[in-house]
Amino acid sequence: MFRIIREYESGVKFRFGKYVKKLKPGLRLVIPVIHEIRKIDLRTITQDVPQQKCITKDNVTITINAVVYFRVFNAEKAVLEVKDAYFAVTQLAQTTLRNSIGGVELDELLSNLKNISKNIKEVIDLESDPWGIKVERVEVKDIKLPEDMERVIAKVAEAEREKRAIIVKSGGEVEAALKLSAAAKILAENPGAMHLRTLATLNDLSSDKSNTIVFALPVEILKHFESRNNDQIKDIVKLIKENK
């Protein structure tokens, strides 16, 4: 004779098969044979969209599954307008997911998955509104690619990383060349700077005894000593002649 409708439920009351009214939570009187009550859960429901194969716009076959989150905001419509609201939403999400995936390319799907899920959610929400159902979220759980496509994507990612490495390395070489050019210009404009730099380099090398230092003298210095030796020899010869 009595039915309890919980706080998170809403009741739809029929009398002799004809809709009477919606029932709020609480203890409700039900006369057998005359009355019938259908209780509808108003909480958010998580429904898994069955895994299915889809073909993207660029003709790549993928396997995808998703989850749809929805709730009933109008128990009267959910009972009177559709036979099984939960099953209807699941089927609608499945077909909408397949149609949406068929309109985008694989790269766009992988990079803009959040936006695509949002668009799918808006379509399902609009279509299920006459059933008294509000779709809150649609999330893609998993995307499976063919093994050949996975290898191709891995090669593309590897090539992209190599390209970035080469660009970074080239940029470093350009920057180093500019710094070296500036340093060479400064050394050329200041007399004795190159000699000081050479001495500093020798000092750094001398800290390690295992190093063998090969010091190259400029040709100009050797010519200077040669000219001085020739002058000394000439003076000695001159003195010998004078003594005679």
Closest CA to 81 of 40, 111, 139, 47: 40
Radius of gyration of the chain from its Cα atoms, rounded to whole angstroms: 44
The residues that bridge with 236 in the sheet, in sequence order, are none
Q: 111 and 53: one domain? A: yes
What span, in angstroms and rounded, lies between the C-alpha atoms of 233 and 225? 12
The pLDDT value recorded for residue 135 is 92
Closest CA to 126 of 84, 77, 92, 169: 92
- CATH number of the domain encompassing residue 106: 3.30.479.30
The pLDDT value recorded for residue 184 is 77
Closest CA to 66 of 96, 25, 36: 96
Q: 73 and 103: one domain? A: yes
Q: 49 and 140: one domain? A: yes
Mean pLDDT, contiguous 10-residue spans, the chain (244 residues): 85 88 86 86 89 85 90 90 89 89 84 87 91 91 81 82 88 87 78 70 69 61 58 58 57
Do the domain assignments include residue 216? no
The pLDDT value recorded for residue 67 is 92
Q: Quickly tell me which residue has 């000081």 as its tokens.
A: 196
Q: 51 and 124: one domain? A: yes
The pLDDT value recorded for residue 186 is 78
The pLDDT value recorded for residue 197 is 72
State the angle between helix axes of 85-101 and 113-128 in degrees (0 to 180), rounded to the nearest 10: 140
Do the domain assignments include residue 203? no
Type of residue numbered 161: R
The pLDDT value recorded for residue 68 is 92
Q: 32 and 93: one domain? A: no
**30: domain range?**
2-41
Q: 126 and 82: one domain? A: yes
The pLDDT value recorded for residue 242 is 62
Q: 31 and 73: one domain? A: no
Do the domain assignments include residue 124? yes
Buried b (16+ CB within 10 A) or exposed e, 40-59: bebeebeeebeeeebebeee
